Amino acid sequence: MIQGFTSFLRTNSGKDLLYIDSGVLRYLNSTSWDPLESGLTGTKDFSFATVAYNDKLYFCNEDNVLRAWDRGATTFNGSMTASASSVPHGNVLVWHKNHMFTLNNVTYTGTTYANDLYWSDFGDPSSWDTSTQKVNLPGGGRLITACDWGDVLVIGKEHSFMFLTGYGDSDWAINDSTNKLENVDEAVGIISPKGITRVGDEIWFIDDEAQIRRLYKTSFDAFRRDIVSTKIQSTLANINKAYLYKAVAWTYNDKVYFAVPYGSDTYNSLVLVYDLIASKRTGEEAWTTYTGWNIDFADAYPTSTTPDLYLADSRHTQIYKHVGYDDAGIAIDSRWDSKQDDFDNPDEFKRYKKGYIHGEAGASNVDVEIAASVGDATFADLGNLNLAAVGGTLGPTGTFALGPTGTTAVLVGSATGEKLFYYSSGGGKVTGRSITHSIRHDEIGEQPTVYGFTCHYGERT
Amino acid sequence: MRILSIYYNDYSGGLNDTVHKRGIKRNEASLLRNWDITYKGQLNRRAGLTPVGRVLPFDLITVSENINITKT
């Protein structure tokens, strides 16, 4: 089982991907995951933090001392710098305002401190003063996680959120008189260390009751919060809360993701996806869901000029890149069901006749299914929108010279298609007060796009 | 009987399973999985997962580093 995954991006443009599994840290060496360090103990997740100013990657958890890697060498069991056991090492590590912070069961010299937060010397993650550079945070449940929020370090506890501000070695000391600690709400907390992510100038997290919330600042720098999951309450009600501590949140490419254990699953088995672009367009929540994914860690990693999303499997030792037409050979079962639509005339019986659906795909030949349910009847299959490539290979096959220079041109094009369907063709009802449409795709080999569709129906005058 | 038509050309509302499917908006979905709704008027099937890298068994790495083969 993967216990940690991260990208390590350096100021000299160097970069690496690393993961920890079964006590071994590995890095991606071209096409193979080569071991860097073994002997890591325990089964708890590791936390990573990249420090840009010294180009080092740090990682630890409560069972393993703080280690640093500068990428100077990749010698197996000879490349890491391990701190002494007297250096605090917890399950969460955050680099914030030139200090390394650690929390969540912080351990040093054989003792574990559940409610204490520690920070390193200014600009030096290897130097810690455990007598002065710490703060005890009792109340509000267990100390779970922290997240950088510009000038503020957001601290998430089981039943509360707090904001830590300060600067320098000594200025982080928190007490009531300086009022640098503010509770958002004693009733709202977090139980997953990885269930929090920064979204622009906001912080999003899945709370201890499996609601998804955001923290934001007003123009007067007051802290506020609200729920952004009001539209998906049925889905949230089916989250396995006993394993909610495994939830993972990340932000990538104008989407916010929450991988959660769903139903009776004890691992993350459903991803809730908030589409920021769609949401900005409507001014409302815009959720979709991804199934077939079991994600424990996520990180962006540039393989060309733009970052790609990499994901670590929660059930198998496997890293994935979020690209391709299928999930490692498994077709992606996609479905969109409309509202049960009475066309704003709920009392009138309609006779559903026909409709058109439009779509587009790439070079492969794929089908998109349209189905309909009249009233509360079961869905009837109305046929497939077939999307096949337009054109084919231009000229002879194989290698040949085209023009004075350049490469061979091949005409394949993308496939746009239109399907005329009849409601009578599926064997289902064609008369009723309301109708629900369904658009489905479950094939390997393509990534189709569906545009609009129409429904033509008759109504008594 | 008059013939009427409805054009569904906006999926931006995304999933709404809080309200009964009769009560949601026309641009919302009562069930939504593995379609992206980023672009107006489009359902884009999400991208997939491609495995990255192969894992050399840990034992092989250890053995190979401990064997010093000299050609005579």
CB pairs under 8 A between A and B: 228
Closest Cα in chain A, distance from residue B69 (Å): 19
Q: Which residues on B lie below 8 Å from A325 (Cβ)?
A: 47-48
Nearest residue to B6 via CA among A339, A220, A270: A339
Nearest residue to A41 via CA among A23, A67, A57, A58: A23
Compute the distance between CA of residue A98 and CA of residue A119 in angstroms, rounded to an integer.
10
Q: What is the pLDDT, as a whole number, of residue A220?
A: 64
Is any Cβ of chain B less than 8 angstroms from the Cβ of A345? no
Comparing A457 with A215, the larger pLDDT belongs to: A457
Closest Cα in chain B, distance from residue A195 (Å): 21
Chain A, 51-80: which have a CB under 8 Å from a chain B CB? 76
What's the mean pLDDT when you consider all of chain A? 90
Name the region of A138 (left: φ>0; alpha: ψ -120 to 50; beta: rest): beta
Q: Judge: B53–A461 Cβ closer than 8 Å, yes or no.
A: no
Choose the mutation target among A38, A270, A289, A350 for the interface with B, i.e. most B CBs under 10 Å. A289
Give the model confidence (pLDDT) of A354-367 as tens digits: 999 999 988 778 89
Residue A421 has pLDDT above 60, yes or no: yes
Give the model confidence (pLDDT) of A226-282 as tens digits: 899 999 999 999 999 999 999 999 999 999 999 999 999 999 999 999 999 999 999
Q: Which residues on B lie below 8 Å from A273 (Cβ)?
A: 36
Q: What is the pLDDT, as a whole number, of residue A179?
A: 37
Q: Judge: A339–B24 Cβ closer than 8 Å, yes or no.
A: yes
Q: Which residues does chain B have with pLDDT short of 50?
A: 62-65, 68-72
Compute the distance between CA of residue A363 and CA of residue A352 in angstroms, rounded to an integer.
34
Residue B8 is nearest to which of A235, A285, A453, comparing CB atoms?
A453
Residue A405 has pLDDT above 70, yes or no: no
Q: Judge: A322–B36 Cβ closer than 8 Å, yes or no.
A: no
Closest Cα in chain B, distance from residue A234 (Å): 6
Compute the distance between CA of residue A84 and CA of residue A94 in angstroms, rounded to an integer.
19
Chain A, 20-39: which have a CB under 8 Å from a chain B CB? 22, 24, 26, 28, 31-35, 38
Q: Which residue of B has its CA nearest to A29?
A: B53
Closest Cα in chain A, distance from residue B43 (Å): 5
Compute the distance between CA of residue A142 and CA of residue A88 in angstroms, rounded to an integer.
18
Q: What is the pLDDT, as a whole number, of residue B16?
A: 98
**pLDDT confidence bin for A346, thresholds 50/70/90:** very high
Q: What is the pLDDT, as a whole number, of residue A93?
A: 98
Q: What is the pLDDT, as a whole number, of residue A362?
A: 80
**pLDDT confidence bin for A403, thresholds 50/70/90:** low
pTM, 2 dp? 0.91
Residue A71 has pLDDT above 70, yes or no: yes
Compute the distance between CA of residue A177 and CA of residue A93 in angstroms, rounded to an integer.
28
Residue B13 is nearest to which of A31, A255, A282, comparing CB atoms?
A282
Residue A177 has pLDDT above 50, yes or no: no
Q: Which residue of A has its CA nearest to B29?
A: A338
Q: Which residues contact A337 (CB under 8 A, 6 or more apart)?
A: A436, A437, A438, B21, B29, B30, B31, B32
Give the model confidence (pLDDT) of A14-54 as tens digits: 999 999 999 999 999 999 999 999 999 999 999 999 999 89
Residue recorded with tokens 């709704």: B37
Give the model confidence (pLDDT) of A290-309 as tens digits: 999 999 999 999 887 788 99
Report the relative pairing of strands A64-69 and A81-82 from DSSP bridges: antiparallel
Residue recorded with tokens 């040949």: A400
